[in-house]
Amino acid sequence: MGQESRETGITQQFTQRSLQAEPSVSAYVFAAISGFHDAEDVVQQIAQELARRFEEYDPGRPFVAWALWIAKSRVIDFYRRSRRDHLVFSDELLKQLGEAIVQRSGQRHERREALEQCLENLPERSRRLLDMRYLDEMPASAIASATDSTTGSVRVLLTRVRGALAECIHPRLAAEAEG
């Protein structure tokens, strides 16, 4: 494997893992830092550090845990730099918060898989309605025009489709929890 293709592979691995970890890292930082812009800046710093240090990552360990370890350090650095006496969290509390987020990250993955499976089982028309509403971000009135329907019937159909998805997802998640 050439140097260029190796670097491309590493870049792809980093991108995939960081996208999966980003919701957990963001949740941790936004829970630990009260100011939106401050938290946003720290999240960006963490992303840069993860990219810079990716070759240090041990693929035998969960990436989310490694990313949260770095996030914890950056949150502590933030409070040290800002010297804020109020709302400073203890190391123990930050550790507990990180552990809770790591535990929940697996649940989000299971929910996403269940949703994807249930979406595949929907009729084509239902998937198309969901795509127009949530991917294309079309309001019900625009969907009604596009499907030669009324706004009221589009709203009813979307409610029924969301209900069908919920009825499909809940048993799958329950089965995952039992198994």
Other beta carbons less than 10 A from residue 156's beta carbon = 13
- Is 116 inside any structural domain? no
Would you state the pLDDT for residue 85?
45
Are 64 and 24 within 8 A, CB to CB? yes
Last residue of a domain, one of 64, 80, 105: 105
Would you state the pLDDT for residue 92?
67
The one-character DSSP state at 6 is H
Which two tokens mark 148?
């030669």
Based on the domain organization, do 25 and 99 belong to the same domain?
yes
Which two tokens mark 121?
């089982």
- Is 33 inside any structural domain? yes
- 96/79 Cα distance (integer angstroms): 18
Would you state the pLDDT for residue 80?
82
Question: What is the tally of structural domains in the chain?
Answer: 2
| Closest among 9, 100, 96, 104 to 55, alpha carbons compared | 9
Which residue range(s) make up the domain with 82?
A: 1-105
- Is 117 inside any structural domain? no
Based on the domain organization, do 95 and 44 belong to the same domain?
yes
List all residues 6 or more positions away from 150 whose beta carbon is below 8 Å from its beta carbon: 144
Last residue of a domain, one of 75, 105, 135: 105
Based on the domain organization, do 128 and 64 belong to the same domain?
no
Sign of CA dihedral 144, 150, 156, 160: negative
Based on the domain organization, do 21 and 97 belong to the same domain?
yes
Amino acid at 36: F
Would you state the pLDDT for residue 141?
93
Based on the domain organization, do 68 and 94 belong to the same domain?
yes
List all residues 6 or more positions away from 118 whose beta carbon is below 8 Å from its beta carbon: 164, 165, 168, 169, 172
Sign of CA dihedral 103, 104, 108, 113: positive
Based on the domain organization, do 101 and 13 belong to the same domain?
yes
Based on the domain organization, do 22 and 89 belong to the same domain?
yes
Helices (H), ranges, the chain: 3-32, 36-52, 63-82, 91-121, 124-130, 140-147, 151-178
- Is 55 inside any structural domain? yes
Based on the domain organization, do 81 and 159 belong to the same domain?
no
Would you state the pLDDT for residue 133?
85
Which two tokens mark 12?
């792809």
pLDDT tens for the chain, 179 residues long, are 566 666 777 788 888 888 888 888 888 888 888 778 888 999 999 999 999 998 898 888 889 889 989 998 898 888 888 765 444 556 666 666 666 666 665 555 677 777 888 888 889 999 888 888 878 888 899 999 999 999 999 999 988 988 888 888 888 777 766 65
- Is 98 inside any structural domain? yes
| Closest among 132, 134, 62 to 99, alpha carbons compared | 62
Are 63 and 21 within 8 A, CB to CB? yes
Based on the domain organization, do 67 and 98 belong to the same domain?
yes
